[in-house]
Amino acid sequence: MGMTITEKILAEHGGLKEVHPGMLINARVDIALGHDVTAPIAIGEFKKAGGHKVFDRNKVVLVADHFTPNKDIQSAQQVKIMRDFAKEHKISHYYEGGDAGVCHVLLPEQGIALPGDLIIGADSHTCTYGALGAFATGVGSSDLAAAMLTGELWFKVPETMKIVFHGKLNKWVSGKDLILYVIGQIGVDGATYQAMEFTGETLGELTMADRFTMANMVIEAGAKNGIFVPDETTKEYVQSRAEREYTFHESDANANYASVLEIDVSKIEPQIAFPPLPSNVRGLSKVGSIKIDQVIIGSCTNGRIEDLRLAAQLLKGKQVAPYVRLIIIPTTPDVYRIAMSEGLFDIFLDAKAIISPPTCGPCLGGHMGILADGERAVATTNRNFTGRMGHPGSEVYLANPAVAAASAILGRIAGPDELKGVHKI
């Protein structure tokens, strides 16, 4: 029997000829990631275990992104623990301040996460790197500590769910809508401890930004990892960025899948996930009139330059609705610089938006846009659990950047086509 791309990567890193679902294996790790929330815990466990040296200072990556710029004394202490550890162990990839960005955008952008890698991170959205054709998954801080010590970790080989996309995308439909649609179909536990492998003719239309978004959100369906078979789009993205060698894998024609889901994308319109779950999805035409107080365009899900360009396209010559806050968060210094050089910041500022430095910030209810009781937000983020962005009485609606921008202008959840005839106030 052949193997899936996920199984091939696990077999290679485990030094095995083949693996099959359910096997417990020990495998070498290419990248071990921590950030200012999870790394301090891992560092504590590292020291408790008697660790004196990380397995490879070039393969441990530490990023200050969740509560930065430091929002309070506690977050400053968290970053200090990480900074001191990075200094002590001469960590090559330590990012803070003007070097730092949202980790799951930063690592691919800097050529640190690459096709064929086995990547673990003490953050559930580490699965983002599956867009490159890597096996990437979130782990606990104690597992991160073990990986930092030994360069290895144990894994249970997951079954694979194959999702096949057919047809041509409708206007304003993006990778965010495809993954929300899938989560809406299978539920938040529909892929528990499975690999979600994306394939089909439609993928040729998807940018790397779309693919990162989709891989990012597989955890919202309970998946162990999400993965795309790398292609020319992948090659074009990584070849000028890669800091080391990488490998393209693909699934065998006779690979075994636990299930196959066929989706005709021509039937999909922009999707909105209503609170309190990413699976509570409705098509835009079925949303109704829902007034909002805040819009967030950013996060590891949708804060790349492609997302900001799309938002700027719709915001140009218009302004945010009265009493609505629009917060734009470029996810890395490079994204920030490109947006500034292309004049996107002028468009955002003219529209009365707030431009934040790179940070996870409001996505996890950290800072830079916390919601009050009764407030509603449209966000391009990945989760809308009760209290996720602030007060338990607030609500978060997930959407793509085009819908988010249109909603900011009209003061309610709305689509871009509703902006015809809307001019600067």
Give me the tens of pLDDT residue by residue for the chain, a chain 425 residues long: 899 999 999 999 999 999 999 999 999 999 999 999 999 999 999 999 999 999 999 999 999 999 999 999 999 999 999 999 999 999 999 999 999 999 999 999 999 999 999 999 999 999 999 999 999 999 999 999 999 999 999 999 999 999 999 999 999 999 999 999 999 999 999 999 999 999 999 999 999 999 999 999 999 999 999 999 999 999 999 999 998 999 999 999 999 999 999 999 999 999 999 999 999 999 999 999 999 999 999 999 999 999 999 999 999 999 999 999 999 999 999 999 999 999 999 999 999 999 999 999 999 999 999 999 999 999 999 999 999 999 999 999 999 999 999 999 999 999 999 998 655 53
Q: Are the beta carbons of 231 and 131 closer than 8 angstroms? A: no
Q: Which residues contact 145 (CB under 8 A, 6 or more apart)?
A: 42, 43, 44, 45, 46, 49, 51
**Cα–Cα dist 64/75, whole Å:** 10
**Cα–Cα dist 391/51, whole Å:** 40
**Cα–Cα dist 11/251, whole Å:** 13
CATH fourth-level superfamily of 5-263:
Aconitase, domain 3 (3.30.499.10)
Considering the entire predicted model, what is its pTM?
A: 0.96
| Residue with tokens 């041509």, as numbered in its chain | 168
**Cα–Cα dist 142/43, whole Å:** 9
Q: Are the beta carbons of 218 and 261 closer than 8 angstroms? A: no
Fold (CATH) for 273-419? Aconitase; domain 3 (3.30.499)
Q: Are the beta carbons of 96 and 64 closer than 8 angstroms? A: yes
Q: Which residues contact 121 (CB under 8 A, 6 or more apart)?
A: 31, 32, 33, 34, 103, 136, 137, 138, 139, 144
Element (H, E) at 104: helix 103-109
Q: Where in the sequence of the chain do the CATH 3.30.499.10 domains occur?
A: 5-263, 273-419
Q: In 200-319, which ranges are E strands?
A: 225-228, 259-264, 271-273, 281-283, 294-297
Q: Amino acid identity, residue 111?
A: G
